[in-house]
Structure 1
């Protein structure tokens, strides 16, 4: 299923350069003419003398635009110094393992800041919702309502389930619906978001539950673009049709 499977780090963008050529009309051979293009960066004039220069400039702009959009307020002086040192073959101040941990931690911080309003909306909703009639909550923060209680067996994390479902955001925007497709979902209990993995094991075969899933048990700070924003609390109705026991 498109939205239930769990889905790393920030992409810096992809640059593609395409060229078309056609056979030129015969002309008299002349001495090559040197052409230049100039771009101004602050008070520094950048002269693009050849294709390598132009490609270097285009790549630099592409990377900077992506990082400015996705990575927040970086220290550009440190960033440029690190890049120059690396191109010059100098040893980095930190090894690959430390660098990766720092980038991941910073990425999560940026995503959390970007999703702050959505996260707050979800937390406020869940705080109020947990006192509503019929709502139960687990230690993880998952909330649910029993719409219909079945009498069959309960699945384990090792099992596969067949179920119908529909999922929506807090504002009611529906992002997935197996009923509309006319085909139930067959999926391992351990192969879905955390809120589903926990919730399915509460259900007996034949049950229908409504789940309110906090963002950290759903798609986290990443979300599932473009339909599910990062930090979103999700609402699912799930009907457990059958359980296939795992080995």
Structure 2
């Protein structure tokens, strides 16, 4: 019984801290929720490919859709910011580190959802259409590896 009161007090303190979110709005990010970012890079294979494996130094062609990470949206997919298809060399630094790491290890024909923290995306400064500090979510399909 003596342990119950400190446990309840700790829970109430934690709950009140989580309720203290900055209540202001950002004028440069109208129409979307506050900036959020996952703690670490994570990925989920929705389809496991059977073809060639994507490794550093190889050229990978991917189809992708990118969203801003959101803690309140289904699948953490907030506002969509881009989609398309392109080819890049893995490990060359030509894409953000989280995208590069998210594709590495995939096999051709595979599909993967990758959650990228801001530190492996566009960082504190952001880029056009992506606010600083934003985490990202990508659905990626590996089309080919050469």
TM range (shorter): 0.5 to 0.7
Query: Which residue pairs with 2:42 in the alignment?
Result: 143
1:188 aligns with 2:89: yes
Structure 1: stretches of 5+ with no match in the other structure: 1-116, 128-140, 179-183
Name the CA distance, whole Å, in 2 between partners of 1:169 and 1:239. 18
1:212 aligns with 2:115: yes
- Structure 1 position 202, deviation (Å): 2.2
- Structure 1 position 152, deviation (Å): 1.2
- Structure 1 position 217, deviation (Å): 0.6
Name the CA distance, whole Å, in 1 between partners of 2:58 and 2:125. 27
1:163 aligns with 2:62: yes
Name the CA distance, whole Å, in 1 between partners of 2:127 and 2:58. 25
What is the TM-score when the length of structure 1 is the normalising length? 0.40
SS of 1:151's equivalent?
coil
Structure 2: stretches of 5+ with no match in the other structure: 1-33, 71-77
1:27-49: CA deviations, max 9, x gaps?
xxxxxxxxxxxxxxxxxxxxxxx
Query: Which residue pairs with 1:197 in the alignment?
Result: 100
What is the TM-score when the length of structure 2 is the normalising length? 0.66
Query: Which residue pairs with 1:233 in the alignment?
Result: 135
Higher helix share: 1
Alignment of 1:21-32 (within 5 A): none
Q: Which has the larger radius of gyration?
A: 1
User: Which of the pair has the greater relative contact order for Cα pairs under 8 Å at 6+ separation?
Assistant: 2
Name the CA distance, whole Å, in 1 between partners of 2:88 and 2:41. 20
1:168-225: CA deviations, max 9, x gaps?
01242111011xxxxx211222221101111111211110000000001111111112
Count of equivalent residues: 104
Name the CA distance, whole Å, in 2 between partners of 1:213 and 1:237. 11
1:54-84: CA deviations, max 9, x gaps?
xxxxxxxxxxxxxxxxxxxxxxxxxxxxxxx
Conserved? CA contact 2:55–2:105, under 8 Å = no
